[in-house]
Structure 1
Amino acid sequence: MRKKGGIFKKITSVLVALLMVLSTIAISPIKANAATPKGYITVSVERFTLGLGYLIEPVKVPFYSGDNGAKILTRLLDDYGLEYRNTGKVDDTSGLVGSTFYLSYIRDDESKKAQIPKYITDQIKKEKGDLYGRQDSDWLGEFDYTYMSGWMYAVNNVFPGYGAAQYKPKDGDVMRWQYTVWGYGTDLGAVSEWSGDGFCKVANKTKLTKEIAEVNSASNSNKLLANKDVKSAYDNAYKVMQDMTISQSKVDTATKELSTAVSNFNKPTPTPGKVEAVNGFKVSSTTTSSVKLAWNKVSDCTGYKIYRYSTSSKSYKLIKTISSKNTLTYTDSGKLSATNYLYKIRAYKSGSKTQYSDYSDRVKATTKPLTPKVTVKSTSTKKATISWTNTSSRNSGYKVYMATSKYGKYSLVRTTTAKTYTKTGLTKGKTYYFKVRAYRTVDGTNIYGNYSTVKYVKVK
């Protein structure tokens, strides 16, 4: 039975409720556009505040030129055969109450009794609210349960302050339609002008929703869910999604577990008779004359072959054969300073016929510039001249640093391509300390050599 005291609240709150549901839409059914999709978004329809799970589980949905959130939603509802009621028109993006589109009801003949979470019922009692049941057992929508109930939507965990017809989809968005019981969405974690700061904090489940949709919409969804690791992570993800009070850390863990399980399932199966490719190939470290490479172990191989790009032949040449699968590093020595080198690797397996893996992706290494040898002298009462040798034409430039004590803070005083620099404006009789390092710029990033030995001078 509804309390009489709630009737006046419902009537006087209609305008506020309509403002709330500017973030929701309902419209006439529209057939899917036959044009090429501009992108895909993830969509779900949820009843978690009632303890009733999904009406539509997360799925990837295409959108087309001219689409808005309202068109996408109603097209999806039509595809699922779900009836709905609405006010407004699909193409009205004015945002005006009564003209813009508002999803008022979705047909939902759920026989299971609602189990509203305690944090919501406690808040209703605290505010002396009026909690009752559905107005029509076959439908779920506005003013069911309380005078603040209704459908709302969030995009990437943000509840927009405008109707869904005004929402323009972007590839990769996650649009979650959720049922609010109390507080115009504050029970969902929404914060707005009409809902205030809210009475609870709800974890961000955008990424987890997207991971579930990837499974549901995959072309091999049945095979994925037949895998025990994927199924376990998938089932856990559903439980986490429906728990309105779960912590963010548990949501993040569930997201990672599902993503990892799917990724492991989708790893290509090695072709019989072909060696597994080397993963994790990288530059571990460099010096002025060497490059150290590292990679992950391939369990079923004899060893590895390393190749370096030759600028003269414009091809990769074999520079090292490693005969142990347990050797996972190699140092290429005798290289020029401040020079770029490109490398690839592949595994091999000896037998009556040597088998090879595919080549790895190339990695680029730049050896460090040489360390400058610095001298410094004072030629007047206000100047000191710093010069250096042990340089290379491959260097892009040099940076000069100065401090007033040997172990004090060194400040950059000059960047130059020259091999000498005169610092002016110094104080006579005072001692200054200098050091220099060379650099080479590669792809917009400076590769630095070591600092020179610190040199000092007392100004004349």
Structure 2
Amino acid sequence: MRNTVKKAMAIAIAVSMTTSIATVGYNKIQAQETNKTVTFSVEKFTIGQGYVVEPVSVEVSDDMTISDVFEKVMNEKEIKYTGSKDYGYLYLQSIENADTGIIDIPEEIAKMPSYESSYEYEGETYTTSYSAPSNEKNDGNTQPNNGLGEYSYNSMAGWMISVNGDNDNGNLTPADIVKDGDVIRYQFSVYGWGADVGLSNYAGMEPLKVADKTTLTKELAKINKNKAVWMNNENVKTAYENAIKVATKLMATQDEVDEVVAELKKAENETTTVQDATTVQPTTTIQPTTAVQPTTTIQPITTEIQTLGKATVNSVKKVKAGKAKISIKKIAGAEGYQYKYSSTKNFKKGTVIVKTTKKNVLITKKFKKNQKCYVKVRAYKTVNKVRVYGKWSKVKSVKIK
């Protein structure tokens, strides 16, 4: 009886929270004229598993609700989920294949205080105690099909919703109509019914102090809309990868979030088209037709581009305050240079910075003691409003002491 009552009470609590989703026919959603655009994501940062659905831009109609957006995206991506319609709407229980089985619960969650709730049933008072989960001690996950949802790893676990950074003090419902520009985030809460993701909650627990990632989520959705194109831009690619790392870090600081947003916007604004000078292919000469006679023949674009020479790093020397000084050789015809330096030789992990400047000397940001600073550089020039690059230099490095 105690287990039955406990589960019934937990379901009642969940129903009163933002994990329930109003149901609208998917075919109807597709058929409606779209007038607004919102940003949508599904996140599982509390267990260190990143996104179920990375931030996307979704076109919606005037009368669509939060739950309509959820159903639209999940159906388009063919992601299965389970729930109950006993209350006249879909109560989201689990998203299938959302759990990898490898968890990394942040220490801040593991240190959250225990919680007790009491209720009466048939004249008896029952008290239930809840403890914060950790990587070493948790309830495990019994959801079928690698699902992730209610009771996964903790009895206070479930899917929570926030819009534009908050859940309206718990008054937000999935039946609410979305507004143009809304950022809707479905977040897996492993403890506290939303307290661990910084939301007000039914338990009245003190929420963790998490950064506002509303703007960051929207910027990532902007890139994801045309990701294949944006990833051809070296600056955007690096800024995007750094932004994803911060976005998926539950306890990222607001400074970290604001910094990667600024870097991403800067990279986006620098240029929208990037090509290597060594890979520019000539355009096909337009042949005259009987209908239209050309006045001039279009010349291959390669006649306008003189290949830039391969860059050379003259020296990389350590300077005070844990920084390095990079000196490079000037290249004839170059408008400027793109520096890329990192704490790893493959330029993929750890600290990775891309800096574009007209100077042939650059002082890096601060490195940690005994880290190595790896450097490479390439020259660039602009042709027909398109930035073209020369070849990367050989990698040089210096150990920071």
Task: Please state if 1:233 is matched with 2:239.
Answer: yes
Deviation at 1:142, TM superposition (A): 1.4
Q: Do structure 1's residue 143 and structure 2's residue 143 form an aligned pair?
A: no
Q: Given the alignment, which residue of 185, 190, 197 partners 1:176?
A: 185
Q: Which of residues 204, 224, 234 is equivalent to 1:216?
A: 224
1:190 to 174, 179, 199: 199
Instruction: Tell me, yes or no, if the aligned pair for 1:26 and 1:74 is still in contact at 8 Å.
Output: no
CA shift digits 1:208-257 (9 cap, x unpaired)? 00000000013xx2121122211111111111011111110110001111
CA change 1:122–1:232 in 2 (3 A) is same
Cα shift at 1:55:
0.6
**1:155 Cα offset (Å):** 0.5
- Per the alignment, do residues 268 and 120 of structure 1 end up closer, same or farther by CA in structure 2, a change over 3 Å counting? closer
The equivalent of 1:25 in structure 2 is: 21
User: What CA distance in whole angstroms lies between the structure 2 residues aligned with 1:148 and 1:24?
Assistant: 15
> Which one-letter code corresponds to 2:130 in the other structure?
G
Change (3 A) 1:112 1:134: closer
Match of 1:159 among 147, 151, 167: 167
User: Which runs of no fewer than 5 residues in structure 1 stay unpaired?
Assistant: 90-97, 274-298, 301-356, 358-460
Cα distance change on mapping 1:132 and 1:49 into 2, 3 Å:
same
Counterpart of 2:130? 129
Letter in 1 for 2:181: G
Q: Distance in 1 between matches of 2:44 and 2:272?
A: 32
Structure number with greater Rg is 1
Amino acid in the other structure paired with 1:42: T
Aligned to 1:77: 74
- Percent of aligned positions with the same letter in both sequences? 30
One-letter amino acid matched to 2:108: Y
Identify the residue that residue 104 of structure 2 maps to in structure 1: 115
Q: CA separation in 1, counterparts of 2:274 and 2:232?
A: 17
When the two structures are superposed, what TM-score results if normalisation uses the length of structure 1? 0.51
Unaligned stretches of 5+ residues in structure 2: 117-128, 132-137, 276-300, 305-333, 336-384, 386-401
Distance 1:109 1:268 in 2: 36
Question: Secondary structure of the equivalent of 1:60?
Answer: strand
SS at the partner of 1:57?
Answer: strand
RMSD between superposed Cα atoms in Å = 3.1
Give runs of ≥4 in structure 1 deviating > 6 Å: 4-8
Cα-to-partner distance string for 1:163-199 (whole Å, 9 max, x where unaligned)? 644221111110000001111101010024x242524
Q: Do 1:27 and 1:86's aligned partners in 2 also have CA atoms closer than 8 Å?
A: no
Tell me how far apart the structure 1 counterparts of residues 89 and 115 of structure 2 sit (CA, whole Å). 34
> Cα distance, 1:10 vs. partner?
4.3
Query: Matched residue pairs, number?
Result: 260
Deviations 1:236-292 (A, max 9, x none): 1111011111110110001111111112122799x999xxxxxxxxxxxxxxxxxxx
Task: Give the Å deviation of 1:5.
Answer: 9.2
Q: Write the distance in 2 (CA, Å) between the matches of 1:134 and 1:168.
A: 33
2:249 and 2:203 map into 1 onto residues whose CA distance is 22
How far residue 85 of structure 1 moved from its aligned partner, in angstroms, is 1.7
TM-score between both structures, scaled by the size of structure 2 = 0.58
CA distance in 1, matches of 2:85, 2:221: 30
- 1:193-204 equivalences in 2 (<5 Å): 194-196=202-204, 198-204=206-212
Deviation at 1:28, TM superposition (A): 6.5
- In structure 1, how many angstroms separate the alpha carbons of the residues matched to 2:11 and 2:98? 25
Moved more, 73-82 or 195-204: 195-204
Displacement of 1:72 after TM fit?
Answer: 1.2
